[in-house]
Structure 1
Amino acid sequence: MNQHNVSALPPVVDQQTWQTALDDLRTREKAATRELDAIAAQRRRLPMVELPDYTLIGPDGPTRLVDVFDGRSQLIVYNHMWSDGAEWQCGGCTSLTSQWTRLGILDNYDARFVIVTNGPIEEALAYKAKVGNEMDWYSSSESSFGADVGAPPGAGFAVNVFLRDGDTVYRTWHTTGRGTEQLSYTFALVDILPWGRQEQWQDSPEGWPKSPTYSKWLDSPDVARLYGPNPDSQ
């Protein structure tokens, strides 16, 4: 457990002063909520682009992208960074995907969530088990799917959303970088803490604990140790 100087504390005030400061912050929080609602409304009005009939590789072999929907109309794909043959894959991707464990809620929204990586399916499934992921994984190693949706081999990660109309699949939304933070509960939890993320780039009061960016994130071995099938052996 990290120990910090006791000077890294907010000022102590009376109840009314605290409530006034909280009310002032709440005004901004509510404005941000309304802005997020407006952004979501704009997202629902985005146009879409028709996709080719891609074939991915699943646990049971080649699978058409339209069949990855498993009968649902909507599909969220996390494109996981991948380095063929590596013992540990991207720590950020591994840490982020470890949060998504109860995806059955999407059934009520006619939607499904899967991981797609450019790596060989055998390696992908072994890694899925190693780090304790529970969602379904697919490989785009034998198609241009990853490159075409902003996650080419040897490059970055992405989130893509698709809509199915019969046997035709459309791409409706995409994000990468810090845009994926909205899908993470860990940042939301840490951001309400008095010290926040404690990363060097953040605007914090003088004396607040600071650490190099990413240094407090779980790395891939940490995820396997905490959530993998044999945590004691990691």
Structure 2
Amino acid sequence: MDSTTTAALPPVTDAHHWRRQLDELRIREKAATRELDAIAAQRRRLPMVEMPDYVLQSADGPVALADLFQGRRQLITYHHMWWPGKDWQCPGCTGFTSQFTRLDFLDPYDARFVIVTQGEIGEALAYREKVGNRMDWYSTHDSPFGADVDAPPGGGFAVNVFLRDGDKVYRTWHTNGRGTEQLTHTFPLIDLLPYGRQEEWQDSPAGWPQNPTYEGWGGSEDIARLYGPGHEE
């Protein structure tokens, strides 16, 4: 965006007054951090629900839910929205999951993070290749697993977390909608900017650039162009 496209600017002040207002904001930011710590502590104290012996589809054929852990004890699943027969799938899911190119940092935590979709495994893997996604994908196309964890056919996206104890798998947490934002680095970075996300639902000063929601988001075609076959490393 050209910097001359808007006349709206934050008020200019001296360094003393800027620091004072920053310090006032910092009080709220630190309180929010402590609240997030408290939420995480409560999350660690949630009970869990034992799961049936689901069978999903992988690149190598049928796979039990317990095997998705690949020997680890903890598993995060991102449930990618899927529209059967469409060339391009949900741009939000496509863009969201494109961020996760390095997941080995989960290894010391005995954890894994994968994609599960309602798409047939062949279609799903072809789409993964087209958009250059690097996560491991699994299909719940012929399994009730997705529907049972709040990601049914034709439904939205979701995140679920599971804990494995031997061959038994337990569901420990779930979220969807804006609850998934805590997993992304894009929105936290954009929210630091003076103009923020520039979406019309946000509380911004008069004159700030604001556009329809999702307008600034990249489309699935954009992700494929950036990360798919033929892109430059």
Could you state the TM-score of these two structures normalised by the residue count of structure 2?
A: 0.97
Deviation at 1:6, TM superposition (A): 4.6
| 2:126 corresponds to 1:121 | no
AA paired with 1:209?
Answer: P
Q: SS in structure 2 opposite 1:130?
A: helix
Deviation at 1:227, TM superposition (A): 1.1
Residues 158-173 of structure 1: matches in 2 within 5 Å?
158-173=158-173
AA paired with 1:24?
Answer: E
Contact 2:6 2:209 in 1 (8 A): no
Q: SS in structure 2 opposite 1:52?
A: coil
State the distance in 2 between where 1:144 and 1:217 align.
Answer: 31
Corresponding residue of 2:179: 179
Stretches of structure 1 that go unaligned for 5 or more consecutive residues are: none
State the distance in 2 between where 1:47 and 1:121 align.
Answer: 32
Deviation at 1:2, TM superposition (A): 4.3
Corresponding residue of 2:65: 65
State the distance in 2 between where 1:97 and 1:70 align.
Answer: 20
AA paired with 2:150?
Answer: G
Corresponding residue of 1:219: 219
Corresponding residue of 1:84: 84
Contact 1:4 1:209 in 2 (8 A): no
Deviation at 1:231, TM superposition (A): 3.3
The number of residue pairs the alignment matches comes to 232
AA paired with 2:39?
Answer: I
Stretches of structure 2 that go unaligned for 5 or more consecutive residues are: none
Corresponding residue of 1:152: 152
Contact 1:158 1:175 in 2 (8 A): yes
Corresponding residue of 2:143: 143
Task: Report percent identity of matched pairs.
Answer: 69
Corresponding residue of 1:134: 134
Deviation at 1:88, TM superposition (A): 0.2
Could you state the TM-score of these two structures normalised by the residue count of structure 1?
A: 0.97
| 2:96 corresponds to 1:102 | no
| 2:65 corresponds to 1:50 | no
State the distance in 2 between where 1:21 and 1:115 align.
Answer: 42
Q: SS in structure 2 opposite 1:62?
A: strand
Write the deviation string for residues 195-219 of structure 1: whole angstroms up to 9, x where unpaired.
0000000000111001100000111
Taking only aligned residues, the RMSD between alpha carbons, in angstroms, comes to 1.0
Write the deviation string for residues 172-209 of structure 1: whole angstroms up to 9, x where unpaired.
00000000011110000000000000000000011100
State the distance in 1 between where 2:72 and 2:213 align.
Answer: 39
